[in-house]
Structure 1
Amino acid sequence: MRVTKFDIYRIFVVILLFCSVTDGFGQGQITRPSKSNSHNKPPKRTQTQQSDNQNQHYLDSIANLPREEEYINNLLVRWSPDVTNEQKTAITTIVNNLIDIEGGTFIMGSDKHDHYWEYAGKRYYIDEPTHSERVNSFKLSKYELTQKIWETIMGNNPSRYWGDDFPVTNVSWNDCQSFINKIQQLSDIEFRLPTEVEWEYVARKNLPKYSEYLPYIRKTEWVSYNTDKMPHSVGTKECNSFGVYDIIGNVSEWTSDHASLDYNHPRTLKNYIARGNAYNSWSPEYMRYDFNAYDKKDSLGFRVAL
């Protein structure tokens, strides 16, 4: 068989092609992505994360803007740039309704066995025993918070009985904290709920003897016998000796304190204390309730302290 130059050339080309293939794959070499490259890629953000980041960026930008400052009722108010004129008016009303409560010492509690809890098979008279308490001076709103102010700040009205000057009701302890936080965002004022000791200190101020109590109720309290079982506009009865209205009657009021079995036990219960009788109750005047942070009642509202 005769081999031509052309055949030799074809054989040479085949050998070259075979060598190039074995150099790429014959050594078992596999191309893999770099380990560092795969870990350095940023995670893909979800739409919710992007929205949260945008909201936080907006809040941060607002916080860094200069605030308009002014004094109202001797209190420095620093207005947020996004506060509305209606919200300014509502917050100004709250501030102007704050009164100074001078601190002092008083006897807190009762030994009348008029209010108790059953807990773990045992009865605890929750407003006993009587004991001495010292209260520092503080500021307290002379009115229960009204529906008009709540609606202006929060954009809703959860109350059952509507009236601009009626106390707002059906608000939980958590709702009160949301309201207080919103006020702080808008005005830089750090309101709070009064403590239970502060509340009772104000409520017991210069109360008459029991024999003279009924005429006092008629002048100062909205309770079951004179209300038609509904709340009334705040400040329409006489104030007490501190100048505070409706501290007893109209609606019961949230305090900032956790509950306790009685005054001999620490405040370690999960629930929070609300105090005072309301338009649908009568006696005793210093009713002491405990509710969880989500509870809402038609007869339960609040006032702010500072």
Structure 2
Amino acid sequence: MYHTETINNHTFRLRYLPGGIFEMGSDETRKSLGNESPIHKVELSSFYIGEYLVTQALWKAVMGADHNPSRFIGDNRPVEQVSWIDIVEGNQDNDGQPAFLHKLNEWTQTSRPEGYAYRLPTEAEWEYAARGSEPYEYAGSDQLKEVGWFSENSHSETKAVGLKRPNGFQLFDMSGNVEEWCVDKYSDTFYQECYERSTVKNPNCQKEDARYRLARGGSWGDYLRFCRVSFRDYRPPTDRDGILSFRLVLASA
């Protein structure tokens, strides 16, 4: 089941995921950077998630045709060089642009399901979607070249979305191409706290003393280990980079 929107003649689609319980994280210390453990059970409510990354075409449809911050230009490539602030809170310096999500939710007031709103995925929603109910190391395969663009095949640039094979949920580019911002703040202790709670429902780390935001999935410039479904990167919310983009979630507000 999908939800489809059209804004300024640009159409995009989100896949419905029924939610459920899954095991989040990894204990493969040889491959991880030590912040993916312990494995813990997570229960998620249902949500919709973009089958593709937010493209430059969608970004321009929402923000205006003259506002494209990307380094690698192409309507079907993911928008990049967008910070967490640009997406969620709005840019109060330089051009004073409002937040992408604020404008998107304004555009779709009458077309969204009642009580639903667009936002970034939580880290748990992102990993659940990337795993696709499959036991793979990457999103849709144990062979990253089948499903993702990374340092060995990207030619040091982003690629148009949807060129590689999707995962089990029919979602594209969840390993490689660009990293994807999540709602959560990063905390070294959050996974352990979740583990101690047995099964945690809809986790979303928002600790006041946490300075960084999560980014998941790896990018065109990364090695294999950084594109695994359990890999966790974290960055200042003001970071703008040619490897940073995002994917939309539509969920109950």
TM-score by length of 1: 0.64
Q: Distance in 2 between matches of 1:204 and 1:241?
A: 8
**Corresponding residue of 1:88:** 8
Letter in 2 for 1:128: S
Structure 1 vs Structure 2 CA RMSD: 2.2
Unaligned ranges ≥5, structure 2: 89-98, 195-204
Q: Distance in 1 between matches of 2:148 and 2:86?
A: 26
Is the aligned partner of 1:138 residue 2:47?
yes
Q: Distance in 1 between matches of 2:136 and 2:51?
A: 20
Instruction: Please point out which of 209, 223, 230 is paired with 1:282.
Output: 223
Letter in 1 for 2:148: E
Matches within 5 A, 1:226-305: 226-262=153-189, 263-265=191-193, 267=205, 268=207, 269-284=210-225, 285-286=228-229, 287-305=231-249
Q: Distance in 2 between matches of 1:99 and 1:233?
A: 19
Q: Distance in 2 between matches of 1:244 and 1:194?
A: 14
CA gap of 1:160–1:261, structure 2 versus 1, over 3 A, is same
CA gap of 1:209–1:176, structure 2 versus 1, over 3 A, is closer
- Identity rate of aligned residues, in percent? 34
**Corresponding residue of 1:22:** none
**Corresponding residue of 2:22:** 106
Q: Note if contact 2:179-2:246 (Cα within 8 Å) is conserved in structure 1.
A: yes
SS in 1 for 2:43: strand
**Corresponding residue of 2:202:** none
Q: Distance in 2 between matches of 1:159 and 1:257?
A: 24
CA offset digits 1:133-179 (Å, max 9, x no partner):
11221100100000111122212111111111000000001111211
Larger Rg: 1
SS in 2 for 1:253: strand
1:283 positional shift: 2.7
Unaligned ranges ≥5, structure 1: 1-72, 78-85, 117-124
SS in 2 for 1:191: strand
**Corresponding residue of 2:63:** 154
SS in 1 for 2:127: helix
Letter in 1 for 2:51: K
SS in 1 for 2:224: coil
1:209 positional shift: 6.9
Q: Distance in 2 between matches of 1:127 and 1:74?
A: 32
1:99 positional shift: 0.9
Letter in 2 for 1:129: P
Greater RCO (Cα-Cα under 8 Å, separation 6 or more) = 2
Letter in 2 for 1:274: A
**Corresponding residue of 2:104:** 183
Q: Distance in 2 between matches of 1:152 and 1:244?
A: 22
Q: Note if contact 1:145-1:303 (Cα within 8 Å) is conserved in structure 2.
A: yes
CA gap of 1:209–1:172, structure 2 versus 1, over 3 A, is closer
Q: Which runs of 4+ in 1 moved over 4 A?
A: none
Q: Distance in 2 between matches of 1:179 and 1:213?
A: 32
Letter in 2 for 1:157: N
Q: Note if contact 1:108-1:132 (Cα within 8 Å) is conserved in structure 2.
A: yes
**Corresponding residue of 1:225:** 152
CA gap of 1:131–1:179, structure 2 versus 1, over 3 A, is same
Letter in 2 for 1:181: H
CA gap of 1:137–1:160, structure 2 versus 1, over 3 A, is same
Q: Distance in 2 between matches of 1:297 and 1:209?
A: 25
Letter in 1 for 2:214: I
Letter in 1 for 2:14: L
